[in-house]
Homo-oligomer: A and B are copies of this chain.
């Protein structure tokens, strides 16, 4: 099945094998101060000196992150904004306002997305489908999160100074932007070769301070379905990379994969675990749309570009809650979208 060039999987499969090459031509990452002090600090394209990025509100700061990231990515691709035919973007804030106020000035036709912290995977999926279908030459994907706007949106305003349990993650202040193209530039960062679109998975968990556990079932399902659909084993990948399960969610994921008869421990990496080091007091790790997006741009694509990794499965994970659903006592369903990336060399 793997070598069946051009085949798109049949009805019943969650996956799409991309029938023609789709390239990630360029990307950019813009982050806040805490991320800049983390292990990937030197790899980001831009690190803010002030988490408000010169704006009056946290929401405007997040919009600025997106604007800067997209501008940088377009420039690194050697393109102009009018070369980008469609834009795929979304964020965590209610009604995706970080995107609406960050991207308007580009005047690129926009397909707005919502996948919580899985949005980076969702945007690459939707863009790859459009490019592979021959309906655009270049598309851009943008997503973001901001610690302060997310705390206000989902939990408590910063001024309240509430205590966070050890299972809680720290929302990454950052935005990642990606230029996806049908044509080879010769300096492409990676190719998108397969997609596994996630389903909503709801195990009934209700603890918004332990989102890793809420999202782990979705990650396990998507990874399992991907491996089955493509007829592969975990060892066929240099890394299987989740978005923001953190240290608690990772344990749940390993258990759930073992229940399905698969051991992914040796190839697993979680962006949330890697993005901060132990001394940064982020508890279970980083989270937010920006977490997987900036890690993909700064670190994962670098490994693929340099040929250190040949094939990875990138699986950003999202927790589908709102403060309204949480306050009304609803559970926290998860979703995870899998994007298979390959080295261009």
Contacts and interface: CB of A to CB of B under 8 A. Distances in A.
Interface in A97-126: 97, 100-101, 103-104, 107-116, 122, 125-126
B113 A113 contact: yes
Protomer copies: 2
A191 B304 CA distance: 42
A130 B198 CA distance: 16
A322 B130 contact: no
A199 B110 contact: yes
Interface in A42-62: 56-57, 59-60
Contact of A92 (B19, B95, B100, B135): B95
A216 interface: no
Interface of A: 8, 11-12, 14, 16, 19, 56-57, 59-60, 82-83, 85-86, 90, 92-97, 100-101, 103-104, 107-116, 122, 125-126, 129-130, 132-138, 152-153, 196-202, 320-325, 328, 330, 333, 335
28 contacts: A14-B109, A57-B328, A59-B324, A59-B328, A93-B324, A94-B153, A95-B320, A95-B325, A96-B114, A97-B320, A97-B324, A100-B200, A100-B320, A100-B325, A104-B200, A104-B333, A107-B199, A107-B200, A108-B199, A109-B196, A111-B115, A111-B125, A112-B122, A126-B126, A129-B130, A129-B133, A132-B135, A153-B324
